């Protein structure tokens, strides 16, 4: 104990001297930043460094962002009218499947928040909550979803305000659940949202006949590759479920199609068929 005390005393001295000296010394002021001085530009990074250091946290576009891009591309109708009713169960053993399902329903909620009937939107939000709870995402996110459900039921928030809240849930809160639910859950949730968005975009393009829009809306090989990395991890140590097997096959096909210089009607039809295949198994 005496040795320990001496060591701790020495550590305290090493951390800035004794308490009297610290108390009597004038506060050490940090140099004030000169906001008017021209700042040196940051160093330019080499592409190899960019590739090696890049984090994927902001890689995946949100479904609402896809909708915006679709409108900019002149594809009429939007995505919300194409969203279909789904009866997903969240109380299943395979957490990967729950994560993908939750991502799909969250995408549907985001895309329809402005015009869905109250009961339909409430059902979607409650399904998202059930998924989050099943994934062990923590009580904060469940409470947030309860608040959203009450706001929809009681009409205490406008649909524009709800869109902000859902955007926030999808973009800022969701990535944080990795601390409770595990690292793998977030990309699988994102994969569900992205697949649902891609399926609806492909559907909208085919319906409108504006096939050229697929070049700017459906070619995202890096995103497919990012999801594949997580999906393939499971196969290394256990037999994947039918859903995960189909997800892997779909992502590989989407990556292959995205590498083409131009997407044809057949390519867009294939994207829709491939994403339908995953969504149909859910």
- The residues of the shown chain that bind other proteins, judged by CB under 8 A, are 4-5, 8-9, 11-12, 15-16, 30-47, 49-50, 53-62, 64-66, 68-69, 72-73, 160, 163-164, 167-168, 171-172, 175, 215-217, 219-220, 222-223
- Judged by DSSP in three states, 59 sits in coil
Q: Compare residues 167 and 270 and give the one whose CB is closer to other proteins.
A: 167
Residue among 47 and 85 whose Cβ is closer to other proteins: 47
Q: How far is the CB of 42 from other proteins (least distance, A)?
A: 4
Report the residue number, 130 or 226, with the smaller CB distance to other proteins.
226
Residues ≥6 apart with Cβ < 8 Å to 273 = none
Minimum distance of other proteins from residue 115's CB (angstroms): 16
CA distances from 219 to 10, 205, 212, 257 (A): 61, 13, 11, 8
Going 119 to 100 to 258 to 66, the CA torsion angle's sign is positive
Query: Tokens at residue 200, please?
Result: 């609806």
Between 50 and 85, whose beta carbon lies closer to other proteins? 50
In whole angstroms, how close is the CB of 245 to other proteins at the nearest point? 26
Could you identify the residue written with the tokens 């591309």? Answer: 73
* Nearest to other proteins of 65, 276 (CB atom): 65
Provide, rounded to whole angstroms, the least separation between the CB of residue 229 and other proteins: 13
For the bound state, the minimum distance from the C-beta of residue 250 to other proteins, rounded and expressed in Å, comes to 18
Return the number of the residue (35 or 239) whose C-beta is nearest other proteins.
35
What single DSSP character describes residue 275? H
**Residue 265 structure tokens:** 């009607």
Q: What angle do helix axes 139-154 and 159-168 make, rounded to 10 degrees?
A: 170
* Of 175, 145, 209, residue with least CA distance to 59: 175
Question: Cβ distance 177 to 141 under 8 Å?
Answer: yes
Query: Do 155 and 112 touch, CB atoms closer than 8 A?
Result: no
Dihedral, CA atoms, 236, 197, 139, 87, nearest 10 degrees?
A: -90
Burial of 51 (0-12, 13-18, 19+ CB in 10 A): exposed
Question: For the packed helices 95-112 and 63-72, what is the interaxial angle rounded to 10 degrees?
Answer: 40
The least distance separating other proteins from the CB of residue 126, rounded to whole angstroms, comes to 24
Minimal distance in Å, beta carbon 161 to other proteins?
9
Smaller CB distance to other proteins: residue 178 or 253?
A: 178
């Amino acid at each position: 104990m005496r040795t320990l005390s001496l060591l701790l005393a020495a550590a305290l001295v090493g951390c800035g001297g004794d308490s009297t000296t610290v108390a009597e010394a004038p506060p050490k002021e940090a140099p004030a930043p000169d906001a008017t001085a021209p700042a040196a530009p940051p160093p330019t990074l080499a592409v190899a460094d960019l590739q090696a250091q890049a984090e994927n946290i902001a890689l995946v576009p949100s479904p609402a962002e896809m909708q915006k891009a679709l409108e900019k591309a002149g594809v009429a109708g939007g995505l919300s009218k194409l969203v279909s009713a789904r009866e997903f169960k969240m109380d299943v053993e395979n957490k990967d499947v729950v994560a993908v399902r939750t991502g799909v329903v969250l995408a549907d909620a985001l895309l329809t928040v402005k015009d869905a009937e109250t009961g339909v939107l409430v059902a979607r939000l409650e399904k998202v909550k059930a998924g989050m709870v099943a994934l062990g995402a923590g009580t904060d996110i469940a409470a947030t979803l309860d608040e959203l459900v009450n706001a929809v039921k009681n009409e205490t928030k406008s649909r524009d305000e709800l869109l902000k809240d859902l955007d926030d849930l999808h973009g800022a809160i969701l990535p944080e659940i990795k601390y409770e639910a595990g690292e793998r859950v977030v990309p699988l949730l994102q994969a569900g949202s992205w697949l649902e968005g891609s399926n609806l975009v492909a559907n909208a393009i085919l319906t409108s006949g504006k096939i050229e829009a697929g070049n700017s809306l459906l070619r995202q090989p890096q995103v497919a590759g990012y999801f594949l990395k997580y999906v393939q991890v499971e196969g290394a140590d256990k037999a994947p479920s039918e859903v995960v097997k189909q997800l892997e096959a779909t992502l590989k096909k989407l990556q292959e199609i995205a590498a083409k210089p131009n997407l044809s009607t057949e390519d867009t039809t294939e994207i829709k068929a491939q994403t339908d295949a995953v969504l149909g198994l859910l």
